[in-house]
Amino acid sequence: LAKTTQPISMDSYEGQEVNITCSHNNIATNDYITWYQQFPSQGPRFIIQGYKTKVTNEVASLFIPADRKSSTLSLPRVSLSDTAVYYCLVGGRSSNTGKLIFGQGTTLQVKP
């Protein structure tokens, strides 16, 4: 299973764009990259998933370079409610190709 490395914490201010980078040097050919958000005392919530290049949805963008050894989650114009822990995971899209192992995550603190 590919191991991921993220910054332990990040600070930002309301209205700013936040980019969280994740390293996954040993990513396998069939691995997808998925980001989750977790608030205290809640289960993780799916944010975005991608395989290569760029993926965008209504809440975030995911940038993946050609070598796929890293990825960057981009949160546009964060608000206080975006304060949470963000996890980057790599693995198969379904349980048939792998289980999800969580790394340490990045604690994002958004300040007013």
Partner 1 sequence: GAVVSQHPSWVICKSGTSVKIECRSLDFQATTMFWYRQFPKQSLMLMATSNEGSKATYEQGVEKDKFLINHASLTLSTLTVTSAHPEDSSFYICSADRTSHYGYTFGSGTRLTVV
> Smallest distance, Å, CB 21 to partner 1?
18
> Smallest distance, Å, CB 96 to partner 1?
7
| Whole-Å CA distances, 107 to 45, 51, 61 | 15, 24, 18
Per CB under 8 A, which of residues 9..48 are in contact with partner 1?
34, 36, 41-46
Indicate the residue among 53 and 77 with the shorter CB distance to partner 1: 53
Is residue 95 at the binding interface for partner 1, with CB under 8 A as the rule? yes
| Rounded-to-5 percentages of helix, strand, coil across the chain | 5, 45, 45
State which amino acid sits at residue 79.
S
